[in-house]
A and B are shown apart, each in its own frame.
Chain A
């Protein structure tokens, strides 16, 4: 057996995003610095602290899958994932799974839970109150639930449902995982999928993530945490990572899915290779429930581990004078804390060289897709490597004086690059970083 580490490449990508449902049109819009952040349409949020979001529109999942009846009534997060997975699979040219060994194909998603059906919950809860007007009788609650709560919808909320539906859609029977580490989930999924393939658990894996928290209790939850922007008078400029007057993240939704293969497997079948996962690092803050460690301890460790895994020395320029990575896809949420600490952590990792590495956040345009954010950003990194151009961080008119790295403000930039780094840090303290390279 060869001890050489198996190389893991990407041969298919797909996404369903607030800016569109196919790779190339969304990519062009990102390069143009466009955005689609508008008042919430899915429910009446006019009196909420935050009234807007980045929303998937005009999306019909049944047009993507081979047979919608196979899937019953999937939840919205599953609908996003099915469309993205079908795009990615078709691009990979792997054909039907029947031609491959289905036990050698796995799935590792970072999918969030499904949509909580607020209207049905409130009806059920209110109908089961006792005489005091608020104490719930659980027997009455159970009986009311039958009237108001859609049983299929409730079961489809399980976080493993998107992966299960994808396995059904594609006929996949190898190892299947779903991880849920909040905003870090799909980056972690991709890293762990690569780790599984390196040890030989599968030849092909479907990875990425999907999520929507665009429902009453989701928006309520983040508003209570005061984590979201409340720039209700100007939603289009609300997501402003690294700018002085940033005031929180903008909720997005959607899915990004990739097809990963061992390089040998991809080469043997003459597949078009879009890039390679060359490094993965993961850490836990183990600090506080709500706050990131003030020195960026965890994020720095994740970056350092990923660089080490890729065989890169963060302190050393290459022979051609370039930094070891030529681009950083920031977690860049537009919250005061994240953007500050991510900047700090990058400087800690790269020292003075950090100033020479462009670092942008597509969340400025797309919003924050929570569990799916890392996958969508990973896909964007592949497109950057392909086209040698970096989309801008928009709404960066007034830089934060403390944040002095090169965030590629407002206008895209053409540049030569072959290696980039993508960060995702989750509520709860999970930090994950991937190194992505051109093959």
Chain B
């Protein structure tokens, strides 16, 4: 075993884990559906969830395509206990998604909590259940704000702060602020499922889910909990978030393109990403705990590492730092790169991010890079931002469980020698899968999941 401070190259590396940790439940939520089965089936059949946006008219923005969770099939009030239905009024979309994902994850893990079954009590002691959720900068609802603004107009037809202070603000519900605090995802989820262990909210854009997973791993490893709900959820399908993403230069220009041509990761035509709403929660659990309760582990978390890209404007992913994350994750898993059988990159379609990921994979895997199958989620779900990593990890679990790979959608021209072009679903021998993220803001992660033997 590789030990901290004792490696051959004299460099210090991540320490191997001291308590084995498994993923015992997955609850993705996205345009592909709620729960792992619908998500997996859609990906195997090559059915993308991307469609022309309907939740608002994005006509002023470059990308008119997104991944919406079907409002008919997912209604948050139907998945919370009756006693909690009143609280859905103060849930923004991001919270709704997290609450839906949590229920799916708890069911998939075969756990019982007050959130899914009030009769039988807990399977895991509430004190021993943690919750780490990745979330984003939650955008205020522009209609809600406008309805309040118009009550305080001054002579110049703008908001008069004098009026706003006296009466205008009263048009916002008293709990208005609590709708938009990023930690409200974890707040609601911990209340619904009575998770009283450590709870945190990680806000590092597209790396939030994977960083949360890493934190849950540490929480379990240090013995502060036996299981954690972990992952993330976000919806940027609203005008303010769209504007921010446009300003950051991250959205694809969808004009003149068929829906399926908008997100083309690693292709020469790629010009940005499309956004999706969603994410997922996973149940991360100490292996001893999962075994003792007769739970079904879907994958083992073998390796994890995070790095930061700090060059340039601090926004751009850098190949060297992504490669360092992969190397450190391999060290922490005590694996060499030959043991990785598939890769699920972020693959969001932003050319600079795609290039950094591809360069990193080539740097670490050398000639093998060309033959390692990759799985792309963003062409199916859109970039789900803080929730994206949880979808990637959920899919990795199902790949390992079923020993198969879903289809790959990509209509672009691939000029890199990597397995990222279109492909049908197929069986595959998979022992270990590498999952990557690279965020707006420079946070990179590498997660290695192993098959349960």
Contact = CB atoms under 8 A, between A and B. Distances in A.
A273 B188 CA distance: 40
29 contacts: A45-B161, A48-B169, A104-B12, A113-B182, A122-B149, A123-B158, A128-B146, A134-B147, A136-B143, A141-B60, A142-B239, A146-B60, A151-B248, A154-B243, A163-B441, A164-B441, A165-B314, A173-B321, A177-B306, A180-B201, A181-B183, A188-B200, A201-B14, A201-B15, A283-B196, A286-B196, A290-B175, A301-B196, A428-B181
**Secondary structure of the B side of the interface?**
mixed
Those 9 A-B pairs whose CB atoms lie nearest each other, nearest first:
A142-B60, A221-B177, A151-B247, A47-B165, A428-B187, A284-B199, A175-B306, A282-B198, A200-B4
Interface in A159-175: 159-161, 163-165, 167-168, 171-175
Q: With a 10 A CB-CB cut-off, give which of B135, B136, B224, B314 has the most chain A CB atoms.
A: B314
Interface in B328-350: 328
Interface of B: 3-6, 11-15, 18, 56-61, 87, 90, 126-127, 130-131, 135-137, 140, 142-143, 145-147, 149-150, 153, 157-159, 161-166, 169-170, 172-178, 180-184, 186-188, 190-191, 193-205, 211, 214-215, 218-219, 221-222, 224, 239-240, 242-244, 246-248, 305-310, 313-315, 321, 324, 328, 439-443
Interface in A115-137: 116, 118, 121-126, 128-129, 133-137
A178 interface: yes
A139 B328 CA distance: 46
A143 B261 CA distance: 25
Contact of A289 (B162, B173, B187, B201): B187
B218 A160 contact: no
A125 B149 contact: yes
Contacts of B307: 103, 173-176
B227 to A, nearest CB: 14
A196 B218 contact: yes
A134 B201 CA distance: 35
Contacts of A157: 137, 244
Interface class of chain A by DSSP: mixed
Contacts of B131: 284
Interface residues of A, number: 101
Nearest to A137: B57
A217 B165 CA distance: 11
Point out which of B184, B239, B248 has the most chain A C-beta atoms below 10 A from its C-beta: B239
Contact of B150 (A126, A165, A226, A282): A126
B301 to A, nearest CB: 14
A72 B248 CA distance: 14
Contact of A49 (B165, B221, B242, B244): B165
Interface in A68-127: 72, 101, 103-104, 106-107, 113, 116, 118, 121-126
B90 A141 contact: no
A423 to B, nearest CB: 15
A182 interface: yes
Contacts of A179: 200-203
Interface of A: 1, 43-49, 72, 101, 103-104, 106-107, 113, 116, 118, 121-126, 128-129, 133-143, 145-146, 149, 151-152, 154-155, 157-161, 163-165, 167-168, 171-182, 188, 192, 195-196, 198-201, 203, 216-217, 220-226, 282-290, 297-298, 301, 305, 426-430
A159 B324 CA distance: 24
A114 B399 CA distance: 39
A430 B130 CA distance: 11
A122 B224 contact: no
A285 B201 contact: no
Contacts of B18: 199
Contact of A164 (B142, B150, B186, B314): B314
A1 B334 CA distance: 15
A181 B199 contact: yes
B310 A168 contact: yes
Contacts of B439: 160
A158 B164 contact: no
B93 to A, nearest CB: 15
Nearest to A302: B198
Contact of A199 (B180, B218, B440): B218
B150 A134 contact: yes
B171 to A, nearest CB: 10
Given A125-B149, A201-B14, A224-B174, 17 more contacts: A1-B6, A107-B308, A113-B203, A126-B157, A139-B60, A154-B243, A163-B204, A164-B310, A171-B310, A178-B202, A188-B200, A195-B219, A221-B172, A224-B170, A226-B174, A289-B188, A429-B191
